[in-house]
Structure 1
């Protein structure tokens, strides 16, 4: 089921109640643009330092988190209250990332095994941006720049089958999760209008979003041990910087009311 983050609540409010231009001192019809399309996402890698949350072992290790690129879809709604300026709400639906080159995740007990694809996770990103259009609104080509805040909702992560199988050989199982996070975003893009009287346009844009989240890994017994055996439980966490570039291509429609 598709989940929308709290950042898109103003979008639902805008669509369910009339927009009062008078409250902003604006009497002319207000322009809106809806864009729907796809994107190519390329996240950067990050070295995460994990520490023991249980304070039992007092050990720590580092791992290189290098998510693979992905394709997805996005949509946005933009309000242009005055010439040259726009306020945009956008949502980008994520697909599964595979976190590679992370053999440091489970080095304990697996010294002779290199894990490449350790975990997978998806990231749904919502943004609220203020955009500036330098050219006159009659121009058929409209470049812009913008910046604002982002909210990243990480979906439920999972360990790879290889890791789960190797853990099972030791009578263990593992959990992996990421916390949602606020951050910032900026973008540069361009609208190509089909004509001065046309409501349709094509958009290309490069969007950057950065957030920091808590990455957590847990190891525990697969089945409860006998009463005289101490259970195994280890929990490690570290701060992970998620900062993908997204390259968007979409079709848009302009309207006023």
Structure 2
């Protein structure tokens, strides 16, 4: 009985890591970007191509976040990730064709609200902030260049996408585990208002462009740790 009493005293004396001012939380996850795309018709040299549209494929990468608790219920989170690589497609030109691909980084800053008591083991949260998405390494596919060639292009095309600045909203939950409850199982979703203009410069033909509302939902599943 003395042994059981000693073990119980030891477990009860382990400090509970709480969501309190000064706490720092890091989270790593598998992050999947699922675009909800709305595209204008493509235009070629200023002339609209009716029935055409651009699309953006899903992509996954390593997601990283860091939160600093300003108080027991509010924190500031910075969201980062390894580059996401998206395939780009065009429909309405007969068969759907691959336009090319691009990489992007989505740095995001959010003010978070944690409604539960600081010492709870299951802690939901909401966040609202801003996102700045940077596109880079844009490439036009061979299939698209061959199509442009049949239309009179005199060389390979060049693709560019405008960077985007917009609102971001988040909902997530931490589930603490371990002897001192420092470790967290984390589930979160992030919505981003992401708008860009895709432009393909085609030698001999001019520019092919489209306004694209990407507005992705980002799902994150991973682990966290509280310091």
Shorter-chain TM-score: what band? 0.7 to 0.9
Matched, 1:248 2:220: yes
* SS of alignment partner, residue 157 of structure 1: strand
Match of 2:14 in 1: none
Does structure 2 conserve the Cα–Cα contact (< 8 Å) formed by 1:189 and 1:204?
A: yes
Show CA shifts across 1:195-224 (max 9, x none): 47232111110111112222111110xxxx
Indicate the structure whose relative CO is greater, using CA pairs within 8 Å and at least 6 residues apart: 2
Does structure 2 conserve the Cα–Cα contact (< 8 Å) formed by 1:74 and 1:92?
A: yes
Greater CA drift, 191-200 or 244-253:
191-200
Show CA shifts across 1:14-69 (max 9, x none): xxxxxxxxxxxxxx9611101112112211122224445xxxx5412253222121
Does structure 1 conserve the Cα–Cα contact (< 8 Å) formed by 2:159 and 2:200?
A: yes
Match of 2:113 in 1: 132
Q: Quote the offset at 1:99 in angstroms.
A: 2.0
Matched, 1:174 2:157: yes
Matched, 1:36 2:28: yes
2: distance between equivalents of 1:127 and 1:58?
A: 34
Does structure 1 conserve the Cα–Cα contact (< 8 Å) formed by 2:21 and 2:71?
A: no
**Matches for 1:97-136 after TM superposition, within 5 Å:** 97-100=86-89, 102-104=90-92, 114-136=95-117
2: distance between equivalents of 1:154 and 1:185?
A: 17
Does structure 2 conserve the Cα–Cα contact (< 8 Å) formed by 1:34 and 1:75?
A: yes
**Matches for 1:72-91 after TM superposition, within 5 Å:** 72-91=61-80
Does structure 2 conserve the Cα–Cα contact (< 8 Å) formed by 1:216 and 1:236?
A: yes
Greater CA drift, 119-128 or 80-89:
119-128
1: distance between equivalents of 2:32 and 2:46?
A: 40
2: distance between equivalents of 1:198 and 1:183?
A: 35
Does structure 1 conserve the Cα–Cα contact (< 8 Å) formed by 2:54 and 2:210?
A: no
TM-score normalised to structure 1 length: 0.73
Match of 2:181 in 1: 198
Does structure 2 conserve the Cα–Cα contact (< 8 Å) formed by 1:45 and 1:64?
A: no
Match of 2:199 in 1: 216
Q: Which residue of 134, 140, 153 maps to 1:159?
A: 140
Gaps of 5+ in 1: 1-27, 108-112, 221-231
- Give the number of equivalent residue pairs: 205
Match of 2:56 in 1: 67
CA RMSD of aligned residues (A): 2.1
* SS of alignment partner, residue 120 of structure 2: coil
Show CA shifts across 1:81-129 (max 9, x none): 20111110111333321123x144xx5xxxxx53422221122111100
Q: Quote the offset at 1:165 in angstroms.
A: 3.1
2: distance between equivalents of 1:159 and 1:193?
A: 46
Show CA shifts across 1:148-193 (max 9, x none): 0001011221111212234446443211110111111101100011
